[in-house]
Amino acid sequence: EAGVAQSPRYKIIEKRQSVAFWCNPISGHATLYWYQQILGQGPKLLIQFQNNGVVDDSQLPKDRFSAERLKGVDSTLKIQPAKLEDSAVYLCASSLDAGSYEQYFGPGTRLTVT
Instruction: Give me the residues that bind another protein (CB under 8 A), please.
Output: 4, 31, 33, 40-45, 48, 55-56, 58, 91, 93, 95, 97-108, 110
- Closest contact distance (angstroms) between CB of 14 and another protein is 23
Dmax (CA) for the chain in angstroms is 39
- Closest contact distance (angstroms) between CB of 37 and another protein is 9
- Closest contact distance (angstroms) between CB of 81 and another protein is 26
Q: Say if strands 109-113 and 10-13 run parallel, antiparallel, or are unpaired.
A: parallel
Residue among 15 and 62 whose Cβ is closer to another protein: 62
Residue among 93 and 113 whose Cβ is closer to another protein: 93
Buried b (16+ CB within 10 A) or exposed e, 85-111: ebbbbbbbbbbeeeeeeebbbbebbbb
Rounded to an integer, what distance in angstroms lies between the CA atom of residue 95 and that of residue 67? 18
- Closest contact distance (angstroms) between CB of 63 and another protein is 20
Cβ neighbours for 103, distance < 8 A, ≥ 6 positions apart: 33, 93, 94, 95
Residue among 29 and 64 whose Cβ is closer to another protein: 29
Residue among 17 and 37 whose Cβ is closer to another protein: 37
